[in-house]
Amino acid sequence: MKNSLRELRTGKGWTQEQLGQALGVSRQAVNALETEKHDPSLDLAYRIAALFERAVEDVFDNPHA
């Protein structure tokens, strides 16, 4: 799923490891999200959106819209 996670993360100056710690997931999970190898669960998508204080659809493109 296309997303702007990498841009949001680097905008904050965080590493994948740091973002993973903030979200409670592994660095591998962050990398998989950024490279579109993993579609997040609704719960994780909301956690990410809340962390960056954005709406979910500002972070993840809605493929059905």
Partner 1 sequence: MASWKTMDPAHKRYVIRTNMFMTGYVLVNVAAIFGAFDEIIGKAAGVVLGLCVAAPIAGQLWATLSLMNEADEFVRALTAKRFVIASGLAMALFSGWGFAESYGGAWHAPGWLIYPLFWGLFGLISPFVKSTGR
Q: Could you say whether residue 6 binds partner 1 (CB under 8 A)?
A: no
Element (H, E) at 6: helix 5-12
Q: Is 42 helix (H, G, I), strand (E, B) or coil?
A: helix
Tell the smallest beta-carbon distance from residue 50 to partner 1 (Å).
Answer: 17
Q: Could you say whether residue 63 binds partner 1 (CB under 8 A)?
A: no
**Which CB, 8 or 34, lies closer to partner 1?**
34
Pair 59, 1: CB distance under 8 Å: no
Among 5, 19, 40, 48, binds partner 1 (CB under 8 A): 40
Integer Cα distance of 53 and 49 in angstroms: 6
The residue ranges that bind partner 1 (CB under 8 A) are 24-26, 28-29, 32-33, 37-41, 44
